[in-house]
Structure formats: structure tokens, C-alpha cells
Amino acid sequence: MVVDRAEYEHLRLDAEAWRLLNRSPHVAELLAEWIEWVARQDFRQTSSAISAAADWRTVASTPTYTELKRRRSVPVVPRRCAGSGCRVVVSVPYPAPAHDVFCPGCRRATGVAA
């Protein structure tokens, strides 16, 4: 690539001006703040895009590993719902709880309380 003398002189003067500008502590502080601002803006936009894409109701309703471990530690006995016409089999903790267990199919008490 060939650069004529006038263009070379213009580039050299421009580089000198940038060097002088970058020596200033005020400019260095402004540039650091600007870089931080751009990074935060990018993070905010990315976070907003992820939040908009995720269905947080599904994420929030997912049980944690601790909850799954607790559920597995309780033995269950399958029982047929006592509701008329309901064919849902309900897993009831053993021994049966003192309160009614509600059927997820018909939303009525299954009548399997102890």
C-alpha cells in the first residue's frame, strides 16, 4: 500500500494528538467510565433478552434437588380416588396423613386420611 506524504503527515499528526489526549488523567478516567458504562449496558440488554425469552413460571415451579430428595424419601402407596367416576390413582404417603389428600383429577378429597 502506498501512502503519499500529505496523508502520512496527516496520520502522524492525528496519532500525536491521540497520544497527547491519552496522557491526560481526566481523559483516562472518562474512558474507563465509558468502558464500564458500555459493559453495564451490554449486560442489561443481555439480561433483559434472557428474561424475556424464559418462561419464569415454569422455571419457578420446577422443584429443586433438595425437594426431589425429600419427596423420594417418603414412601408412597398408590390408592384409587374415592370420587364417583374418577379413575385417577393418587400416591398417598405411608402412613396416610391425618388430613385429606385431594385428587388432582377431580379436585375432591380422596377420603384416604388416617
18-32, 71-85, 91-105: which range is least confident on average?
91-105
Question: Among all chains, which residue has been given the C-alpha cell 439480561?
Answer: 47
Question: What does 8-37 look like in DSSP terms, one character per residue?
Answer: HHHHHHHHHHHHHHHH-HHHHHHHHHHHHH
The Cα 96–Cα 77 span in angstroms is 9
pLDDT tens digit sequence for 38-76: 999 999 999 888 888 877 777 777 888 888 888 777 776
The Cα 10–Cα 16 span in angstroms is 10
For residue 93, list its beta bridge partners: 76
Residue 111 clears pLDDT 60, i.e. is over it: no
For residue 89, list its beta bridge partners: 80
